[in-house]
């Protein structure tokens, strides 16, 4: 699942300059706790291969803010972000994950 700048579309894509920010913060929780999700961002020029850098997080059952340093998203041009947040599930078993308050902080 992903959140884009504007409607999802083929290139050329809209983007936003997030280079003034240092951290992506997302409040999340798992239905039971222990759910695993990968978080990523993507530039407008990055291909749709799924190879963009993602960070793995294991969720608690209670709401908690999770912080992701933007410097860790190798290959993402912060001046041209198209996918502001993506949630990737690689487990074969279904899981329920909740998220709210996606924000970029300086």
> Predicted confidence band at 93 (pLDDT cuts at 50, 70, 90)?
confident
Res 91 pLDDT > 90: no
> Predicted confidence band at 90 (pLDDT cuts at 50, 70, 90)?
confident
- 4, 13, 31, 65 from 10: Cα distances, Å: 12, 6, 34, 32
> Predicted confidence band at 36 (pLDDT cuts at 50, 70, 90)?
very high
With a CB cutoff of 8 Å and minimum separation 6, the contacts of 75 are 43, 46, 52, 53
Distance, in Å, from the CA atom of 53 to the CA atom of 64, rounded to the nearest integer, reads 22
* pTM metric for this prediction: 0.93
Peptide bond into 33 cis (omega under 30): no
Distance, in Å, from the CA atom of 76 to the CA atom of 90, rounded to the nearest integer, reads 21
> Predicted confidence band at 31 (pLDDT cuts at 50, 70, 90)?
very high
């Amino acid at each position: 699942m992903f959140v884009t700048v504007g409607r999802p579309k083929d290139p050329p894509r809209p983007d936003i300059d997030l280079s003034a920010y240092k951290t992506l913060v997302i409040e999340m929780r798992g239905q039971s706790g222990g759910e695993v999700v990968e978080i990523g961002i993507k530039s407008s020029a990055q291909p749709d291969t799924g190879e963009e850098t993602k960070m793995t997080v294991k969720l608690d059952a209670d709401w908690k803010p999770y912080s992701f340093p933007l410097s860790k998203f190798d290959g993402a041009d912060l001046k041209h972000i198209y996918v502001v947040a993506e949630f990737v599930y690689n487990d074969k078993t279904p899981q329920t994950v909740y998220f709210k308050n996606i924000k970029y902080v300086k």
